[in-house]
Structure 1
Amino acid sequence: MTPDAALAADIDATSRLTGEFTLRSGQVADTYFDKYLFEAQPDLLDRVAAQMVDLLPPDTELLGGLELGGIPIATMVSARTRLPALFVRKQAKEYGTAKLAEGPDVAGRRVTIVEDVITTGGAVRDATRALRELGAIVEVVVCAIDRSPAGENPLADVDLEIRSVLTRAELDAVHG
């Protein structure tokens, strides 16, 4: 088994749930990948982060981890690459600094978004638009699992390239 297939098998075994699940997009799915089940396992989280390092554009200046699942992954990738992490909220907090993105200033900097699972890309789309409004250059998102249909980029409308560690097809291929 290749390292990628071994990772896919371990992620699948740890986080695939079957039943009826309503996704953030409102879609109903019969399979759900509970990313917190693999993100809570240090060895699996580290293996995902190691794979993400190779997917980062070489000009990345900041790693934008999306609340909540993207934050532990971005932190691990930051520790491996020494690139600063940015923690991106779903909405700006209404107290204190009232920031949307916690960490270094993003204006004029290349931010690679880090996310756990992408299906329709709603949270990533929202974060991309918000970061761009703050002056960030956002062109790529790296994710642990891309659940979107093969050959489709649900984030093409915001000119965002998706680079994934694993796809739904790769997870399905190892599911026994």
Structure 2
Amino acid sequence: MTLQTEIMNQLIDEQIVKFKEEGHFTFASGIHSPIYTDLRQTISYPKTRKDITKALAALVKEHYPDTTVIAGVATAGIPQAALVADELDLPMVYVRSKPKDHGTKSQIEGVIREDDKVLLIDDLISTGGSVLKAAKAVQAANYQVSGVLSIFSYGFPDAMQNFEDAGLTFEPVITYSDLLLRYQERAGMPADKVASYQSWHEDPWNWEK
């Protein structure tokens, strides 16, 4: 069993991933969704936490080997970044959603040096808005961004376009398609329900219309 499959099994068994048969969840972006992934819960499960850390660290080595600083996106990306930075023995910083209103009024907390290459980590990517906002803050401070990692990505076209427009790339440990297939196999989801979830993924903004 691959590490990715083991992580998906744990997300399903621990109900960190939830599929609704009726009704919907609402994302911060406004999208209505039959699925919700509460990845903040992963830090409460030691094995899940360790497996995700190993998987993210492997993605750093494979796709962004020149990274010199790991950055967490506030708030859900902060613990993940700390774990990965520790695993790779790299410095860590975190990026606030906005500059603080006191003291130095910093948006980036921690030390970045002029020639560093900063890798941003968030828990999930839907449209990419939060992590790209953090990336812009790093770039506005005249630092280099090597790329973005997440535990999970919905794989929406909006995100793909937003990252392309920003000139950045990202890599997730798990994609929506991977997770839906694994959920079908593990939970015995009927084919018509799988088709409904696939239909949502193809056009999430207009799913209920």
The yes-or-no answer on 1:16 pairing with 2:17 is: yes
Listed one character per residue, the Cα deviations across residues 93-148 of structure 1 (whole Å, up to 9, x for unaligned) are 10122110110035442100011000100001111111100011113101100112
Tell me, in whole angstroms, the C-alpha distance in 2 between the residues paired with 1:126 and 1:132: 10
Tell me, in whole angstroms, the C-alpha distance in 2 between the residues paired with 1:111 and 1:158: 15
Listed one character per residue, the Cα deviations across residues 14-63 of structure 1 (whole Å, up to 9, x for unaligned) are 21123422112111111110012222222211111111111111110111
The yes-or-no answer on 1:115 pairing with 2:116 is: no
- State how many pairs are aligned: 176
**Aligned-pair Cα RMSD in Å:** 1.8
Return the offset for 1:76: 0.4
Aligned counterpart, 1:44? 48
- Show structure 1 runs of 4+ deviating over 6 A: none
The counterpart of 1:141, out of the listed 139, 148, 170, is 148
SS at 2:34's partner residue? Answer: strand
Whichever structure has more strand as a proportion of its residues is 1
Unaligned runs of 5+ in 1: none
TM-score (norm 1): 0.92
The yes-or-no answer on 1:2 pairing with 2:2 is: yes
What percentage of residue pairs aligned between the two structures are identical? Answer: 25
Aligned counterpart, 1:169? 177
TM-score (norm 2): 0.79
Which structure: larger Rg?
2
Change (3 A) 1:124 1:83: same
Tell me, in whole angstroms, the C-alpha distance in 2 between the residues paired with 1:40 and 1:47: 13
The yes-or-no answer on 1:84 pairing with 2:91 is: yes
The counterpart of 2:32, out of the listed 28, 48, 51, is 28
Q: Is the 8 A contact 2:71 2:93 kept in 1?
A: yes
Tell me, in whole angstroms, the C-alpha distance in 2 between the residues paired with 1:40 and 1:155: 30
Q: Is the 8 A contact 1:106 1:135 kept in 2?
A: no
Change (3 A) 1:12 1:157: farther
